[in-house]
């Protein structure tokens, strides 16, 4: 990802691209807050070009995927809008853009406002150090929450000159002192011992979950740091995967190498793996990307296999537990799901090492070669469970991608009845989890998945 300044006045095609991203982004916010009376949602091309704002854009493969617009005077930087293409939500574009504006603010404080009920946006700003200063009813029934960020230290000339050398997936980035203060004290002490003098390159954290994902530089090398909360199991699972299952990939340079790790302290460090995320780029539509991904997945699955007599029962209980938590699945659908799950058989299952979130948002591509990241959901499961995300997203929109994937993977492991149960479980988990974290677009995908799989039953 590249971040750079953009000027809308002289480039109509860029202005149209920004307007399309803006309309899509605010449509998501309107759905989240239940109100479409958001002025930027209805702006015209002429209005967005005439807005008295400075702009930064985030680009992947020369395509605009996000933008931030702001105004400033001698004392305040006022962030007017942050817009991210819904197709690349949760991948750090918005965080990087806000961080770049904060880095340029210097002695000035920054202010921003967002819909009071827009929980993802509020988590983003609060995670970046913004403090809530109040709430305002801008029009009857439409409330916004206001935030302010204290002044940051401006980049020195030396830091500014080296910023582009520290990251090939971002543009201008802040040289922040004390960047690790958000970590738990034990994590901070351990990290300072492992990587003395490390400096921040970029914060890749989602903002929706507690895990922090931070890119740092130390002694001329780049690393990825992941830090989890006390109740989080993602770091433990990721460390287990690194230590037991990733050798077929790391030996080929297709996954990051583990450098340091502590399950007790919920902390790990890997070497930085170069590349851009497949999601949101033209690579996401190329059959060869999926052929490579299929080949890599086959290597992971082929390492070992165990028979588990209790797997299906545990998965049924997990799905019922999701239905007991807050969600917006219709009552009639919940009743049908409970009845179906109660009648499902629980035969023995063959389990293999799985990634757990196998899809383009966890694939990198560099010089045409696909690599894999993010192992926080790795566990022993049936092989076909790693097909679930692809089936409801990428295979659904382009059957060529499924054919290419199977060309790389080999024989299709999906048995009809077990595959149906897997799709239902995945849909329940997606709809319920996304509702709990306030990810409206992902929640809508979960509801679509449920409707489609039940209709096909």
Q: Using one digit for the tens of pLDDT, what is the confidence trace for 19-52?
A: 999 998 888 888 777 888 888 888 898 888 888 8
Q: What is the mean pLDDT of the chain?
A: 87
Q: Which long-range contacts (CB under 8 A, 24 or more apart) does 238-245 make?
A: 238/268, 238/374, 238/375, 238/376, 238/378, 239/263, 239/268, 240/378, 241/353, 241/375, 241/378, 242/268, 242/270, 242/375, 244/353, 245/300, 245/303, 245/353, 245/378
Burial class (CB in 10 A: 0-12, 13-18, 19+), 262: middle
Q: With 90 as the cut, is the pLDDT of residue 398 above it? A: yes
Among 126, 133, 139, residue whose Cα is nearest residue 39: 139
For the cut 90, the answer to whether the pLDDT of residue 158 exceeds it is: no
* CB-CB contact of 84 with 93 (8 Å): yes
Helix (H) or strand (E) holding 335: helix 331-343
Name which CATH class applies to 176-271: alpha beta
Name the residue with higher pLDDT: 211 or 326. 326
Looking at domain 2-149, what is its CATH homologous superfamily? Answer: Gcn5-related N-acetyltransferase (GNAT) (3.40.630.30)
Task: Judge contact between 351 and 381, C-beta under 8 A.
Answer: yes
DSSP E strands in 12-98: the ranges are 54-60, 63-72, 76-84
CATH number of 276-455: 3.90.1200.10
**Whole-number Å distance between alpha carbons of 161 and 172:** 10
Q: pLDDT > 90: what percent of the chain?
A: 55
What CA–CA distance (Å, rounded) separates 233 from 266? 8
Domain ranges of the chain: 2-149, 176-271, 276-455
Q: Which of 7-16, 162-171, 295-304 has the lowest mean pLDDT?
A: 162-171
Structure tokens at 295: 């080949």
> Is the pLDDT confidence value at 415 over 70?
yes
The answer to whether the CB of 141 falls within 8 A of the CB of 35 is: yes
Mean pLDDT, rounded, for 181-200: 89
Which pLDDT value is given to residue 429? 94
Give yes or no on whether 176-271 and 276-455 have one common fold.
no
Residue 375 CA to residue 81 CA, distance in Å, equals 33
Is residue 268 classed as helix, strand or coil in its secondary structure? strand
Long-range contacts of 39-42 (CB under 8 A, 24+ apart): 40/81, 40/83
pLDDT at 270: 97
Among 440, 385, 369, smallest CA distance to 29 is for 440
Taking the CB of residue 157, how many other CB atoms lie within 10 A of it?
8
180-202 average pLDDT score: 88
Whether pLDDT at 116 is above 70: yes
Strand partners, 56: 5, 68
Strand order in the sheet with 258-262: 199-203, 212-218, 221-227, 267-271, 258-262
Q: Give the whole-number percent of the chain exceeding pLDDT 70.
A: 93
**Model confidence pLDDT, tens digit, residues 221-242:** 999 999 998 777 889 999 999 9
CA nearest neighbour of 299 among 229, 355, 243: 355
Q: Under 8 Å CB-to-CB from 85, ≥6 apart: which residues? A: 21, 24, 25, 64, 65, 66, 93, 280
pLDDT at 112 over 90: yes
Contact 15, 49 (CB under 8 A): yes
Mark out the alpha helices in 381-439 (DSSP H runs): 388-392, 394-397, 399-409, 416-437
Identify the pLDDT of residue 163: 30
Quick one: which of 324, 358, 331 has its CA closest to 429? 324
Structure confidence at residue 209 as a pLDDT band (50, 70, 90): low
Q: Report the pLDDT value the prediction gives residue 4, as an integer from 0 to 100.
A: 85
Query: Which comes out higher in pLDDT, residue 283 or 106?
Result: 283
CB of 257 within 8 A of CB of 270?
yes
For the segment 199-211, the average pLDDT, to the nearest whole number, is: 73
Q: Are 436 and 325 in contact (CB under 8 A)?
A: yes
Q: How do residues 349-387 score in pLDDT, each as one tens digit?
A: 999 999 999 999 999 999 999 999 999 999 999 999 999
Residue 82: its pLDDT value, please?
A: 94
* φ/ψ of residue 292, rounded to 5: -65, -40
Predicted confidence at residue 212, as pLDDT, reads 85
Question: What DSSP designation does 40 have?
Answer: G
337 exposure class (CB count in 10 Å sphere: 0-12, 13-18, 19+): buried
Instruction: Between 358 and 129, name the one with better pLDDT.
Output: 358
């Amino acid at each position: 990802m590249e971040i750079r300044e953009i000027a809308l006045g002289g480039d109509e095609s860029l202005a149209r691209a920004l307007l399309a991203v803006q309309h899509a982004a605010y449509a998501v916010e309107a759905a989240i807050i239940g109100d479409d009376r958001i002025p930027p949602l209805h702006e015209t091309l002429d209005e967005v070009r005439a807005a008295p704002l400075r702009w930064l854009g985030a680009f992947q493969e020369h395509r605009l995927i996000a933008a931030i617009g702001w105004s400033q005077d001698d004392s305040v930087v006022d962030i007017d809008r942050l817009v991210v293409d819904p197709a690349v939500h949760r991948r750090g574009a918005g965080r990087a853009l806000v961080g770049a504006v904060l880095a340029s603010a210097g002695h000035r404080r920054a202010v921003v406002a967002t819909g009071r009920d827009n929980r993802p946006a509020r988590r983003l700003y609060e995670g970046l150090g913004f403090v809530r200063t109040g709430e305002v009813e801008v029009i009857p029934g439409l409330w916004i929450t206001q935030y302010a960020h204290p002044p940051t230290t401006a980049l020195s000339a030396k830091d500014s000159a080296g910023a582009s050398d520290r990251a090939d997936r971002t543009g201008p980035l802040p040289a922040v002192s004390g960047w690790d203060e958000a970590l738990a004290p034990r994590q901070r002490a351990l990290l300072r011992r492992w990587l003395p003098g490390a400096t921040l390159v970029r914060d890749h954290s989602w903002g929706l979950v507690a895990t922090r994902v931070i890119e740092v530089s130390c002694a001329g090398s780049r690393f990825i740091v992941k830090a989890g909360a006390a109740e989080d199991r993602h770091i433990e699972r990721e460390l287990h995967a690194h230590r037991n299952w990733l050798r077929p990939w790391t030996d080929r340079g297709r996954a990051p190498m583990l450098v340091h790790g502590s399950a007790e302290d919920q902390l790990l460090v890997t070497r930085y793996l170069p590349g851009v995320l497949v999601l949101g780029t033209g690579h996401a539509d190329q059959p060869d990307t999926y052929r490579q991904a299929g080949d890599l997945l086959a290597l992971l699955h082929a390492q070992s296999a165990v028979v588990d007599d209790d797997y299906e029962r545990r998965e049924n209980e997990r799905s019922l537990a999701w239905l007991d938590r807050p969600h917006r699945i219709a009552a009639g659908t919940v009743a049908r799901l409970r009845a179906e799950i109660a009648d499902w058989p629980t035969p023995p299952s063959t389990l293999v090492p799985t990634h757990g979130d196998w899809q383009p948002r966890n694939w990198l591509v560099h010089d045409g070669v696909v690599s894999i990241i993010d192992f926080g959901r790795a566990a022993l499961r049936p092989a076909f469970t790693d097909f679930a995300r692809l089936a409801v997203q990428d295979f659904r929109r382009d059957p060529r991608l499924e054919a290419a994937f199977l060309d790389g993977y080999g024989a299709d492991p999906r048995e009809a009845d077990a595959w149906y149960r897997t799709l239902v479980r995945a849909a329940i988990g997606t709809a319920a989890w996304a509702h709990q974290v306030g990810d409206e677009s992902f929640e809508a995908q979960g509801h679509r998945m449920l409707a489609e799989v039940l209709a096909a039953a």
